[in-house]
Amino acid sequence: MFDDAISTDNNVRFLTREELRSAGAELTIAEIHAATDTAWSDIKNGTAFGGKAVLSLPEEEFWQRESVAPFRRDFVDERLGWKLSSLYCVNATYGGVKIIGANAFNRHLGLPRSTSTILLLEKRTLRPLAIFDGTAISALRTGTYASRVVQLFVRGKRPISGFLFGSGPVARSVIECLNFSNSGLIGEIFIRSRSVQGVEKLISDLTDQTSFRLHAVSDNKRMKECAVVITATNARQPLFEDEELDTGAVTLHLGGDEVPETYLQRALKSGTVVCDDIKTVCRRNSQSVALYFSRRALSLEEIGPLLGVRELSAPADWIRQEGTPVCVTCVGLPMLDLYAAQAIYEKYLALKHRTHMKGGPS
């Protein structure tokens, strides 16, 4: 009745990152792009769909503890992003739920800012098949947004320059994904972060792996030269001023309130403003484009489409006038996580089957 890959039994596989790596089942950069490309296709034809729920916790409650209060000064320019999130979706074969616990304070404890756990289910019975440590998977799939946005919107003479804010796992994934998908287009990327050590380590780790040059910078002076600017931070306030951008730059926002209102106004008036999913960005209400409306007692979901705000997840032929801004905000669609988890699970089963057929350990 069921295919081997989705047959259900009483044994749920708990797959740690170490086990996936040991089995050779972690996805390559090419495989994560293939998985997310399939996801986008199925999102557009309606066979993959889902939602997201976010419980944001009050920062004041966190800082009331005497043991952590002295560290508050370290977060003047950064949101804690203390929240519990659930992403859920289905496609033709599987269902998936991702649970995310996040708090930027975690780095003081030597822990990741966020930890993701992915539950993969068989669609028809909705019984669990596997549970994954989804932290690395989440960062990897988020990086593919950079590939997609650059391919859709960046125009101009090669090679172009890029500017990246952030030095964490998502920033690393952005660089790896751009190197895979757009290596011939990009000549150099400037990287700026609150953590100088983080940038230095990122560049040290990736310099020999990329076809383009990576530069650490401490200000935005080189941004004017850049055709694409990507923000992957937890900032409380804008990271740049509108006049620091090239007038026709493409910006991709993967983090918090990172964008100045003057830039959003210019993009809404004369450029292209895009979300991966308007409803989800609006309800999360932590990124600049959603906050721009909510601070005026308006709703991105209601007013945005009337002003021409569009969706990556909707079928479209993207045409932009040369020299006009493109502002893209992505909150992270659950369908991308599902297709990544599906690809890992099926790769893991195939490798285990191959090992078993060769007479190796089961």
All CATH 3.40.50.720 domain ranges of the chain, comma separated, are 143-332
Report whether 256 contacts 102 (CB < 8 A).
no
Query: For residue 159, is the peptide bond before it cis, meaning its omega torsion is within 30 degrees of 0?
Result: yes
- 361 has a pLDDT exceeding 90: no
Choose among 327, 341, 353: nearest CA to 271. 327
**3-class secondary structure for 236-285?**
CCCCCCHHHCCCCCEEEECCCCCCCHHHHHHHHHHCEEEECCHHHHHHHC
Residue entry with tokens 């320059």: 161
Kindly state the average pLDDT of the residues 6-23: 80
The structure's pTM equals 0.90
Output the pLDDT for position 275: 96
Amino acid identity at 281: V
SS3 state at 84: strand
- Coil, strand or helix at 70: helix
pLDDT, tens only, 41-58: 999 999 999 999 989 899
| Consecutive H or E run containing 104 | none
- Computed over every residue of the chain, the mean pLDDT equals 91
Lowest mean pLDDT among 73-77, 211-215, 322-326: 73-77
Would strands 272-275 and 326-329 be described as parallel, antiparallel, or unpaired? Answer: parallel
Q: How far apart are CA 101 and CA 84, in angstroms?
A: 5
CATH 3.30.1780.10 residue spans of the chain: 4-138+335-357
Residue 1 pLDDT exceeds 50: no
- Under a CB-based contact definition with an 8 Å cutoff, are residues 226 and 198 in contact? no
Give residue-wise pLDDT tens across range 203-223.
Answer: 999 989 999 999 999 999 999
pLDDT at 81: 87
The pLDDT score that the predictor gives to residue 235 is 80
The answer to whether residues 281 and 290 touch, using CB atoms and an 8 Å cutoff, is yes
Sheet of 13-15: strand order equals 13-15, 128-133, 114-122, 94-102, 83-90, 49-56
Separation of alpha carbons 281 and 266, rounded Å = 20
Angle subtended at Cα 172 by Cα 171 and Cα 177, rounded to the nearest 5 degrees: 100
| pLDDT (0 to 100) of residue 241 | 97
Handedness of CA 170, 252, 277, 303 (dihedral sign): positive
pLDDT at position 72 over 80:
yes
For domain 143-332, give the CATH superfamily. Answer: NAD(P)-binding Rossmann-like Domain (3.40.50.720)
Q: What is the pLDDT of residues 107-166, one digit of tens each?
A: 889 998 899 999 999 999 999 999 999 999 999 999 999 999 999 999 777 899 999 999
Distance in angstroms (rounded) separating the CA atoms of residues 70 and 61: 14
pLDDT at 314 over 50: yes
Task: Report pLDDT for 352.
Answer: 86
Reported as a pLDDT band with limits 50, 70 and 90, residue 339 is: very high
Hey, what CATH topology would domain 4-138+335-357 get?
ornithine cyclodeaminase, domain 1 (3.30.1780)
Tell me the pLDDT tens digit for each residue of 264-308: 999 999 999 999 999 989 988 889 999 999 999 999 999 999 999
What is the model's pLDDT at position 7? 52
Q: What pLDDT shows up at residue 316?
A: 64
